[in-house]
Amino acid sequence: MNSELTPIEAVHTKVEHVTLNGESVIRVVKKDKLMEFDENTYAKLIGSSFHNGEIEVKMLSRLLPDAPDFARGFIGIAFRINEDDTKFESFYVRPTNGRIADPVRKNRGVQYFSYPKYTFDYFRNLWITDFEGPADIGLDEWITLKAVINGSKGEFYLNGSKEPVLVVEDMKHGADANGAIGLFVDIGTEAFFKDLKITATD
């Protein structure tokens, strides 16, 4: 991804091309809906259309100075975004949970959700734990995310791992969903992205 040339639409976010440690990257910060979780808050790649294939990106998150206590450094991807930003699938990480001693939070290092209905809060209220899991990650470090999407199945890998950190067999918008790709951010996070690679298989 050439951050100088990639056309991007900021959806409830502020998006900037910046230099971080001598590299050209994209900075994304949530702008609207500040107290809501798992919303359509991302930098959307204009003209992108994705059904099946692989999405790989390097991402780094920091907590903003005014981040609330419940901020976790939320950062990830949105995909199969429909035209009016009312439906999409997403996978994100919570870096502050990656190496914490608390076993409950530790098991919440990664998260899948499906907008608008199937948010993390929806799953937790029903005690559904299939859509989150642990990961060895932290703040202020580059995390390589690879998503392998095929029909209604999503496999998500971090930092070159051979085994996925999370497998979702039944993504909620179904096997035929198609749409744009976005760089996702949530509350209290300063998010940086680089080296986006998209490989479509159909």
pLDDT digits (tens, 9 = 90+) for 159-197: 999 999 999 999 999 999 999 999 999 999 999 999 999
Checking if the pLDDT of 5 tops 90, the result is: no
| pLDDT above 70 as % of the chain | 96
CATH superfamily of 8-200: Exo-inulinase; domain 1 (2.60.120.560)
Mean pLDDT value of segment 122-141: 95
Checking if the pLDDT of 126 tops 50, the result is: yes
Q: Is 52 exposed, middle or buried (0-12, 13-18, 19+ CB in 10 A)?
A: middle
pTM of the model: 0.95
**Distance between CA 17 and CA 49 in Å, rounded?**
22
Mean pLDDT value of segment 43-66: 97
